[in-house]
């Protein structure tokens, strides 16, 4: 349950007339209060929380660092949180109480111990946006800046494994994620709707790299329930699927001949071609789309608009390749060379998704799954 600050609760109460005021209203006597009430009228009201929620909260640096630790390791007791951040218990408890009053965290008793967890409104202080290490999202820096209209601060976290990113989105470790549609659909299902798709993204940039040592494809490296499995379905590459944790690991396995082929994305596919490997292009109709934790569903329209505007800026040529490659920790020229391999989507391509349902089912539940899962 999301908490509210004392100020928010006080501001949410209906203004009362003074017993001695017959001529003047409260709005006339206190213009600032009247202005505050008019301002609050445009903000979302939550009856169950008894307050209006402000759109964003500016945090002190120490509060932000503590909130990051809570996101990463919750649920934590004060003692555990104290060890994580390297501060005294009294200092941590004071900060936890401040974050609780701001409505960003809550303290629950679990197993006889008070534990701290983020609330559904934690994004107002610190919004966490997850992406994959790929040349796919040059618009992400514009999007990050735009998200500060709803959050005090925005962190971008770079992942290597798509399914882990989608799971963290459902757990609330990140609030938004640019993740492959198959990953988002799978986690939406297993989390009971904890993840939803709220915006567009990108497509293209995928292919299958072929090992020089392989005469036929008997094994293929990929990431689980991702666009790379979608790529394998579109190219009809058969072989036992070996699941790995990221593009670099797949690339190394193909180069060393430990697998016969590997499904890759840019810029790893460009590196594979540069090392002399054969490549099968797969023209998948969608790749990563914008997913959100279900707690942000009410802001879906606002978030979608912010992403559309970020993509439009990128289309107009406003791209800071140096900053983007630095965020990804990839070579700037490599990223610059592979940006053009992707096409940007302002909104989810619903018709393409509808036409790909049967393939998406095979990606989320490939034929090999039941044989590997049942030990009989």
Domain range holding 242?
Answer: 206-285
* Res 12 pLDDT > 60: no
Residue 55 pLDDT level (bands cut at 50, 70, 90): low
**Does 129 share its domain with 189?**
yes
Of residues 343, 349, 350, the one with CA closest to residue 138: 343
Residues 134, 265 within the same domain: no
Please count the structural domains in the chain: 3
Same domain as 251, residue 185: no
Average pLDDT estimate for 262-268:
98
Tens of pLDDT along 81-121?
A: 999 999 999 999 999 999 999 999 999 888 788 899 998 88
Q: The domain that contains 255 carries what CATH number?
A: 3.40.190.10
User: Please, what's the b/e burial string for 257-290 (b: 16 or more CB within 10 A of its CB; e: otherwise)?
Assistant: eebbbbbbbbbbbbbbeeeebeebebebbbbbbb
Residue 39 counted as domain residue: no
Shared domain for 115 and 134, answered yes or no, is no
Looking at the fold, whether 271 and 173 belong to one and the same domain comes out as no
Domain contains 15: no
Is there a single domain that holds both residue 166 and residue 156? yes
Range scoring the smallest mean pLDDT among 15-24, 262-271, 276-285, 332-341 = 15-24
Q: Are residues 296 and 281 in the same domain?
A: no
Is 24 a member of any domain? no
Statement to judge: residues 173 and 152 lie in one domain:
yes
Reported pTM? 0.81
Tell me: do 248 and 238 sit in the same domain.
yes
**Do residues 193 and 301 share a domain?**
yes
Is residue 42 pLDDT above 80, yes or no? no
Write out pLDDT tens, residues 350-375. Answer: 999 999 999 999 898 887 777 788 88
Least confident of 11-15, 75-79, 236-240, 246-250: 11-15
- Return the residue matching tokens 């946006």: 129
The pLDDT assigned to 25 comes to: 42
> Which pLDDT score is estimated for 335?
98
What is residue 59's predicted lDDT score, i.e. its pLDDT?
A: 86
Does some domain include residue 2?
Answer: no
97, 121, 145 - which closes a domain: 121
| Domain-embedded: residue 342 | no
Q: Quick check: is 334 in a domain?
A: no
The answer to the question of residue 193 being in a domain is yes
Q: How confident is the model at residue 40 (pLDDT cuts 50, 70, 90)?
A: very low
295 and 165, same domain (yes or no): yes
Residue 45 lies in a domain: no
Mean pLDDT of 335-355: 96
Same domain (yes/no): 186, 68? no
């Amino acid at each position: 349950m999301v908490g509210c600050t004392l100020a928010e609760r006080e501001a949410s109460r209906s203004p009362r007339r003074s017993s001695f005021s017959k001529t003047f209203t409260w709005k006339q006597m206190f213009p600032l209060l009247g202005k505050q009430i008019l301002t609050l009228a445009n903000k979302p009201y939550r009856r169950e929380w008894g307050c209006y929620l402000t759109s964003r909260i500016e945090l002190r640096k120490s509060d932000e660092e503590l909130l990051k630790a809570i996101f990463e390791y919750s649920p934590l007791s004060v003692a555990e949180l104290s060890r994580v951040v390297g501060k005294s218990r009294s200092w941590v408890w004071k900060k936890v109480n401040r974050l609780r009053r701001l409505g960003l965290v809550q303290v629950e008793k679990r197993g006889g111990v008070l534990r701290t967890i983020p609330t559904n409104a934690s994004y107002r202080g610190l919004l966490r946006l997850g992406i994959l290490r790929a040349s796919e999202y040059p618009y992400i820096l514009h999007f990050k800046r735009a998200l500060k209209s709803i959050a005090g601060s925005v962190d971008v976290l770079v992942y290597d494994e798509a399914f882990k990113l989608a799971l963290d989105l459902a757990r609330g470790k990140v609030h938004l994620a640019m993740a492959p549609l198959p990953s988002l659909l799978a986690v939406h299902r297993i989390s009971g709707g904890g993840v939803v798709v709220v915006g567009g993204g990108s497509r293209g940039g995928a292919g299958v790299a072929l090992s020089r040592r392989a005469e036929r494809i008997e094994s293929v490296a990929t990431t689980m329930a991702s666009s790379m499995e979608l790529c394998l379905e579109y190219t009809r590459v058969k072989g036992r699927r070996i699941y790995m944790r990221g593009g670099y690991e797949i690339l190394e396995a193909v180069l060393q001949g430990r697998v016969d082929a590997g499904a890759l994305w840019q810029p790893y596919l460009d590196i594979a071609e540069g090392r002399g490997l054969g490549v099968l292009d797969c023209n998948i109709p969608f790749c990563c789309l914008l997913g959100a934790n279900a707690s942000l569903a009410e802001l879906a329209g606002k978030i979608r608009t912010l992403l559309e505007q970020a993509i439009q800026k990128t289309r107009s040529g406003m791209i800071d390749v140096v900053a983007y490659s630095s965020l990804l920790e990839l070579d700037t020229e490599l990223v610059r060379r592979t940006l053009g391999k992707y096409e940007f989507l302002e909104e989810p391509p619903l018709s393409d998704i509808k036409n790909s349902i049967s393939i998406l089912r095979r990606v989320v539940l490939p034929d090999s799954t039941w044989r590997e899962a049942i030990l009989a």
